[in-house]
Amino acid sequence: MTDKAIMLAAPSSGSGKTLVTCGLLQVLKNRGLKTVSFKCGPDYIDPMFHKHVIGIESANIDIFFAGNIISRKLFVENSKDSDIAVVEGVMGYYDGLSASSFEASSYDVSRTIGIPTILIVNAKGQSISSLAVLKGFSEFRDDSNIKGVIFNNMSPHVYEAIKERAEELTGLKPLGYLPNVKELTFESRHLGLIKPDEIRNLSEKLNNLANIMEQTIDIQGMLKIAELYESPETNSIDIVKFTENPKIAVARDEAFCFYYKDNLNILKKMGAQIQEFSPVHDDKLPEGTEGLILGGGYPELYADKLFGNQSMTKSIRTALSNGMPCLAECGGFMYLHEEMEDLEGKTYKALGIIPGKAYKTDKLGRFGYIQMSAKEDSLFMKKGETIKGHEFHYFDSESCGEAFKATKPITGKSWECMNIKNNIMAGFPHLYYYSKPDIAERFLRQALDYRRQFTRKVKET
C-alpha cells in the first residue's frame, strides 16, 4: 500500500482541479514515481484524463456509493504498490448530497480516509481577496484537513506580493501558482469535459503544463504534505469466487466508455474473464461471450457508425434473443431501443430490444444520486433489495422501465426506472456494484447458465 496520498480540491467547480491534477500526474510520471489516481464522486470523464497521463485506470471514491468502510478498503486496495496516490475532488470542497449536506463531499472523503488536502483557489480577478477564500475554507471546519494552497490563474507579480501575507493570515504555506495559460484549458460538452482523445496534442500540452508547474509550484512541498497520509488498517473485502471463469464482453470504444473501475474489478475478483470489444468497429461479439455489459457514453455522437454496423447489431441481437445476460446503462440502454435519435435529432433504427425510442431533450434529466429498490423478484434482484446508482443524461426514453423505484437521498423524490426482461437489465441509472455485490454475482451465474445452455444445444445438434 502507498504511504503517500494527497487530494486536490477547490472552492467550486471550474477552479482548475482537473487541469492541476493532470499537470501534477504528469510531473510525477516525469519524475519516475509510480502514481495511482482517484476521482471523488461518480464522474467518468475526469478519470479518463488521469488515465491518459499515467496509463492506468483511475478509480472513483464515493462515500454515498460505498460507505465509509468499503471506501477505505477500496482506496487501500487501489493504491497498493504505488509511490503516491493523487485524488481529484468534486464540485466545491464541502458540497455533498444536498445543498445543506457534507455527506459524500470531497471533505467527507478527506476526513474519512485521512487524505491531506491542497486547495486550488481560482484567483482570476483577485489578489489578497483570494486569501479570504482560503482562510474561510481552511477554518470552516476544525477537521478541514486543508494543508496547503495553489493559486490558479494568478500572475507571478501578484503571487510574489501576497505569498508572505498568505502564510501570515491563514497559517498555510502557499505552494505556488499557475498562470493563465489559454492553450491548456479543457473544453466541455453536455456530459462534462470532452474526452481526452478528442483534444489535439494533449500529451504535448500536458508536458508543457508539467514544465510550467515545475517552475511555479513547490512540488517537493506537495510531496511533504502527501507524507501526512496514514494508510488506514483494513481487511480484504469478501467476494464470491467462480472457478468456471465466465467470459464477459464489455463494450469499450468512443461510443461506450463510461465504466467504474471497481465495477469491472469486482467481476474480475469473482473470476470473470473480461474482454473488451467495439460495437462501432468490430464485426461481432468476441468468440465465446457468455455475458454482455453495455456501459454509458456517447452513442448519440456515433449513431451513424453504430447502426451502420449491421453485423455487430445482428450479433448482439441474436445473443440476447438466445438468452445471454446483459447489463446496459444509459448509453448502452439507448443503444438497445427500437429507435434512437442522435445529437441532431435524426432517428435511427436501433437494436429493437427495448420498445420505443430514446430521444434528445433540451435539459438534464433526473440528475444525481439514487437508491434503487426492486419492485419484484428477478434474475438480478429480489423484491425489496436495494442498489445505489447515479443518473446524468440529456436524453430520455419512451420506455424508462418500472422494475425499480429510484429515490433521491435527502429529498426523498422518487420515480420508476429500469427494464428487466428475463436475461436483460437496462436503464438510465449507472449502478455501483459494491453497493450490492449480489448483482454482480447473479449476473455471472446467469452467464454460466448461458454457457451450460449453449453447450447443451451444441451437443444436441
Beta bridge partners of 251: 277
Dihedral (C-alpha) 116, 122, 127, 133: value to the nearest 10 degrees?
-50
**Where in the sequence numbering do the catalytic residues fall?**
330
pLDDT in tens, the chain (461 residues): 689 999 999 999 989 999 999 999 999 999 999 999 999 999 999 999 999 999 999 999 999 999 999 999 999 999 999 999 999 999 999 999 988 899 999 999 999 999 999 999 999 999 999 999 999 999 999 999 999 999 999 999 999 999 999 999 999 989 999 998 776 666 665 555 677 877 778 899 999 999 999 999 999 999 999 999 998 888 888 899 999 999 999 999 999 999 999 999 999 999 999 999 999 999 999 999 999 999 999 999 999 999 999 999 999 999 999 999 999 999 999 999 999 999 999 999 999 999 999 999 988 778 899 999 999 999 999 999 999 999 998 899 999 999 999 999 988 999 999 999 999 999 999 999 999 999 999 999 999 999 999 777 656 65
Collapsing DSSP states into helix, strand and coil, what is residue 137?
helix
The C-alpha atoms of residue 109 and residue 92 are separated, in whole angstroms, by 13
DSSP codes joined into one string, 167-216? HHHHS--EEEEE---GGG---EETTEEPPGGGSTTHHHHHHHHHHHHHHH
| DSSP state at residue 327 | E
Give residue 375's identity as a one-letter amino acid code: K
Collapsing DSSP states into helix, strand and coil, what is residue 341?
strand
The C-alpha atoms of residue 117 and residue 226 are separated, in whole angstroms, by 9
The C-alpha atoms of residue 385 and residue 241 are separated, in whole angstroms, by 22
